[in-house]
Amino acid sequence: MTTETTSDLARLYGPVASDLPLVANKIRSITDATDFIFLQQMLESALAGTGKLMRPAIALMGGRLGDYDLGKLVPLAASVELLHTATLVHDDVIDEAETRRGQQTPNALFGNAASVMLGDYMFAHAADFIAQTDNPKVVRLFARTLMTLASGELTQDITVFEYSEDVTRYLDRIHGKTASLFGTAAEGGAMAAGASAEVCEAMRLYGIRLGIAFQIVDDILDFTGDPEVMGKPVGSDLHGGTLTLPAILYMQQRSEDNPIRKAFDGIRRKANLDRAIREILDSGVIDESRRTAREFGDQAVDALDALPSGEVRETLTRLVEYVLSRRN
């Protein structure tokens, strides 16, 4: 974990904050599992981006709702983060991204072919970690999640520069690409701890809805965030041909003289997309997108009604507000 978040983690993650270093150590242990120096260097580069460990924290909080056995929950939480990080490594290869959060990506440092194998190596370790739960239901849950993540990424890749004003289609895509792993972290933690079926389902719904809110906020920040902090230029998703909620809402308002449609048709692509970004920032779609994120955040909190009152429920509720208030 990064030192900049040490005090914040205790406040943000409450009852599980003190156990997150165990998860971070478990993740770093895969670097020591190989004597191949080149692979060690690649792993150190990829894992340097793990910071707030939000998904592992959610998994541990799910574990607090049952038998809090760190021997099972730490490998599960580490597996969640490794799955997430491995997908980012593969995303950067597909997107030919040279930086992420201001740092050079593994593919920029080591090449695409090596980075694909790095992601595969991390997926394999994630599978090994999840097997340490000794829970076939959890193993099946993670296998299904990996398939969902891959399907979500494929959906995004094959629809690059494909014009669509369908918000439902966008929500389906971010469910597969982002929210499914939040849902699995939450449900998996509760499941591994032997929580009731009702609690496991509540955590699944909480995680999915929180994950959708998280991704919508992320998509807003692609337009409004500080490029230096975000490590990418304003509107980079749109320039890359990926339609997110602010762009879709803007297109719905611009039935005539729509610069995104022109750009996706290949007409003065950069100029039209630059114009669209300016007009998105000057319109009300950013606020409308925030309201949509808030709706999903509220639904996440509603899912917690099935949980017993106490510190875990309070912490999960605070986490929703943290996600909705993100500015980077």
Residues 249-294: tens digit of each pLDDT: 999 998 789 999 999 999 999 999 999 999 999 999 999 999 999 9
pLDDT tier, 125 (very low <50, low <70, confident <90, very high otherwise): very high
266 neighbors 179 (Cβ within 8 angstroms): no
CA-to-CA separations, 275 to 217, 225, 256, 257, 261, in angstroms, rounded:
22, 18, 14, 11, 12
% of the chain residues with pLDDT over 70: 97
Q: What is the pLDDT of residue 224?
A: 95
Query: What tokens does 144 get?
Result: 């299904």
Q: What is the pLDDT of residue 2?
A: 44
Q: What is the pLDDT of residue 1?
A: 44
Q: What residues does 99 pair with on adjacent strands?
A: 104
**Euclidean distance between CA atoms 12 and 10, whole angstroms:** 6
125 neighbors 80 (Cβ within 8 angstroms): no
% of the chain residues with pLDDT over 90: 76
Residues 208-222: tens digit of each pLDDT: 999 999 999 999 999
Q: What is the pLDDT of residue 6?
A: 61
Tell me the domains of the chain and their CATH numbers: 3-324 (1.10.600.10)
**Euclidean distance between CA atoms 178 and 285, whole angstroms:** 22
pLDDT of 5 above 70? no
Which of the two residues, 229 and 28, has the higher pLDDT score?
A: 28
**Euclidean distance between CA atoms 253 and 10, whole angstroms:** 43
**Euclidean distance between CA atoms 297 and 289, whole angstroms:** 12
User: pTM for this structure?
Assistant: 0.93
Mean pLDDT score, 63-88: 96
**Euclidean distance between CA atoms 61 and 316, whole angstroms:** 8
